[in-house]
Amino acid sequence: MSQIVINGAKALSGEINIQGAKNSVLPVLAATILCDKECHVHNCPDLSDVNTSIKILKQLGCKCARQGNTVSVDSSDMNNYKIPENLMREMRSSVVFLGAIVGKTGKAVISSPGGCELGPRPIDLHLSALNKMGVCIREEHGFLYCDAPEGLYGAEINLSFPSVGATENIILAAVKAKGMTVIHNAAKEPEISDLADFLNSAGARIYGAGSDTVYIHGVEKLSATEHSIIPDRIAAVTYMASAVMTNGKIVINDIMPSHMMAMLSLFYESGCNLKIYKNSLEISRGDKLLRVPKIRSLVYPGFPTDAGPIIISMLTLADGTSMFVENIFENRFRYIDELKRLGAKIKTEGKIAVIEGVSQLLGAPCKATDLRGGAALVCAGLAAKDTTVIGEIGHIERGYENLVDNFKKLGADIYYR
Ligand code: EPZ
């Protein structure tokens, strides 16, 4: 399977269930290292990034098994603190294991996570925080050698940017540190609260997760626990946009609308019909898809950067011109050249994309440049007349469970080749 083929312009209809959140399951699987007994994590999506996390856990000496959408981890026999370079390269976000490994063993060796498709992905905020908590960090030949000779102790951390990964790593390092850690200007994404819920269910003492100040009182031990991962809000928006772009009507289940407010208001602003229930919603396009004059990506609860490519793809079919300002990543527009191959009219200048709506997209061969850019191409291909062939689909497989099967269920003519 190296390509996704779509014969587009078919209105989607029906209903699907939304997967567990990729960006929550990764830090939660890392957090299982800190528990002294076997943990069961439910609603884990079947994604290549999750499979890489399982490989890392096994590499560390943990017992790890998947049963359907439940991943069970027992780290009592963990005997390693090094993540091999190939696994670090396979998944950039494996840097979130750093805080958990150091928190468990007092040591860690990881290769410096390279940049990724979104541009440089520095981890200076992660490292300076761990350093304040007693971790000595030496960078040599592309590897980071971390060691806490006196063990980890609590510290007061002021993040200059509310980094999701840095907030997660600090929490993971702090839960069993001596004393209290306070994170000021912490990230507030729902995935942070989900990580804290998992850890607190195992006996951690974390307060304020989801706000900009998080308090972690270090504890001696963490027990066994079970936890179910929150729904993936970005996957949810991807299916919503595909229904709007194909002028269909779908229902998506197993969502948490409260995690999606900034995105839902954008669908309202573009004239969509939305019926929102406790854990599901129904969406269809209005009489016409209205342009959205200005959208800017912000940290939570603002409009999430990960939904940017999906929404830009949708607005290629709007009536009028929209503008998107990307404030989080330096290089998030690489997929736009691929979208333009399907007839999209988009101009970019720095962090600004100007999207001039067209009446119809036309299928074309293209390739995914990154996870969400790839998803944007799938949405465009579903709306486009004729055939779209998407290459480099490994990017998409990182974050979307059963993508092709789900769209087939909704009536799309889509298949792997
Ligand atoms: C997480 O990445 C997500 N990944 C990203 O999702 C998401 O886009 C991002 O948060 C923002 O919401 C996972 O959770 C696995 P950040 P992360 O640290 O933690 C700069 C997807 O599509 N920064 O909040 O890497 C950084 O360069 C992925 O699912 C520093 O400068 O995001 C970026 O410009 C893509 N120094 C900004 O902060 C640091 O030490 C946001 O980064 C850390 C970050």
123 lines ligand 1 (CB under 6 A): yes
- Tokens matching residue 209: 């997760």
Q: Whole-structure pTM over 0.85, yes or no?
A: yes
Chain segment 171-213, per-residue pLDDT in tens: 999 999 999 999 999 999 999 999 999 999 999 999 999 999 9
Q: What is the mean pLDDT of residues 41-59?
A: 95
What are the tokens at 382? Answer: 């579903």
Give the chain's radius of gyration (CA, Å). 21
Q: State the distance from the centre of ligand 1 to the C-alpha of 163, rounded, in angstroms.
A: 6
Atom of ligand 1 nearest to the CA of 93: 15
pLDDT of residue 91: 83
Closest by Cα among 164, 138, 311 to 236: 311
Cα(122) to ligand 1 centroid in Å equals 9
Q: What is the pLDDT of residues 246-260, one digit of tens each?
A: 999 999 999 999 999
Helices (H), 15-90: 22-31, 48-59, 85-90
Task: Say what the pLDDT of residue 415 is.
Answer: 98
Q: How many CB atoms lie within 10 A of CB 140?
A: 7
Q: How confident is the model at residue 114 (pLDDT cuts 50, 70, 90)?
A: low
Q: Cβ(324) to ligand 1 under 6 A?
A: no
Question: Ligand 1: which residue has its CA nearest to atom 28?
Answer: 306
CA dist list (Å): 318 to 123, 206, 243, 323, 344: 38, 44, 14, 12, 11
What pLDDT was estimated at residue 228?
98
**C-alpha 164 – ligand 1 centre gap (Å):** 6
- Which string of b and e fits 79-99 if b means at least 16 CB within 10 Å? eebebeeebbebbbbbbbbbb
pLDDT of the residue at 358: 98
396-408 average pLDDT score: 96
**Active site positions, annotated:** 116
Among 103-107, 156-160, 259-263, 353-357, the minimum mean pLDDT is found in 103-107
**CA–CA gap between residue 225 and residue 202 (Å, rounded):** 5
Closest residue to atom 18 of ligand 1, CA basis: 163
Pairing of the two strands 413-416 and 4-7:
antiparallel
Span from the CA of 415 to the centroid of ligand 1 (angstroms):
31
- The whole-chain average pLDDT of the chain stands at 96
Which atom belonging to ligand 1 lies closest to the Cα atom of 372? Answer: 22
CB 342 within 8 A of CB 367: no
Q: What pLDDT is stored for residue 118 in this prediction?
A: 72
- Look at ligand 1, atom 42, and give the residue with the nearest C-alpha: 163
**CB 154 near ligand 1, within 6 Å:** no
pLDDT cut 70: percent of the chain above it: 99
- Give me the pLDDT at residue 300, please: 98
- What is the rounded CA–CA span in Å between residue 159 and residue 180? 16
